[in-house]
Amino acid sequence: MTLDVAWAMRWMRCTAEAVAEAKTGLTELDRVIGDGDHGENLDRGFRAVTAKLDGLESPPAQVGDVLKLVATTLMSSVGGASGPLYGTAFLRAAKVTGLPELDAHGTVALLEAALEGITARGKAVVGEKTMVDAWQPAVDAAESVASGGGTAHDALVAAADAAAAGAAATVPLLATKGRASYLGERSQGHQDPGATSTALILAAAVRASEE
Ligand code: ADP
Ligand code: MG
Ligand code: MG
């Protein structure tokens, strides 16, 4: 298993499938602490990504080319807060992955750049009940695996597991960024939709690497 262009394309198809399946659940989470559109927003976005990939005459040369296509498609089709955030994440990730395939450190660089894009755009830090609460532990976990000599796949698995734990850990948090922050203390006791979709996207990256 290699994290190459074919993997990046499978990652996006796996994500589209996972998002379609989780659409109602994501929207339900967003209905409680937001405006009830997160599932629809992402489903629309990743369907558009799949359509773009289907329309390519030949596969892109580098992982970064796939991620750039994802970024521009999400930016123009998702809307809301998450469209520009995920769009910027993939755009930044695209810039550090101009290679035919990724090793463990390349995987960390991808995840790190994505997180930097999100924080540059949304200014959230850990603990504010946003997707950063899934991305930051994912980056940290991948980093520790890579620096310990793990493979790219090991780093990805660690990232996905940490993102899932991070998403679950948003439940008790008080939201201080995004729409959920309008609810104040009433945002507590519910899982953040964006952290949940981040965990889903990273789990899809793992599945894509195992196919
Ligand atoms: P909207 O809130 O505009 O309807 P979505 O429902 O698609 O957009 O996305 C909501 C998610 O976006 C939240 O659950 C949260 O994870 C994420 N989010 C919102 N604001 C920020 C921010 N400033 N930084 C990081 N993530 C954010
Ligand atoms: Mg919403
Ligand atoms: Mg909205």
Cα(162)–Cα(136) distance, integer angstroms: 9
Residue to probe by mutation, ligand 1, list 85, 126, 190, 192, most atoms within 8 Å of CB: 85
Domain carrying residue 64: 3-210
Q: Could you read off the pLDDT of 156-166 as tens digits, one per residue?
A: 999 999 999 99
Q: How many domains does the chain have?
A: 1
> What DSSP string describes 12-38?
HHHHHHHHHHHHHHHHHHHHHHS-S-H
For position 8, which CATH number holds? Answer: 1.25.40.340
Instruction: Give the global pTM.
Output: 0.98
Residue with tokens 């796949």: 153
Q: Is 132 in the pocket of ligand 1 (CB under 6 A)?
A: yes
Please, what's the largest Cα pairwise distance for the chain?
Answer: 51
Q: Is 34 in the pocket of ligand 1 (CB under 6 A)?
A: yes
Question: Phi and psi dihedrals of 4, rounded to 5?
Answer: -115, -165
ipTM for the predicted complex comes to: 0.99
Q: Could you read off the pLDDT of 133-148 as tens digits, one per residue?
A: 999 999 999 999 999 9
Q: Is 195 in the pocket of ligand 1 (CB under 6 A)?
A: yes
Instruction: Decide: 198 and 167 in contact? Cβ < 8 Å.
Output: yes
Cα(85)–Cα(64) distance, integer angstroms: 18
Instruction: Decide: 201 and 16 in contact? Cβ < 8 Å.
Output: no
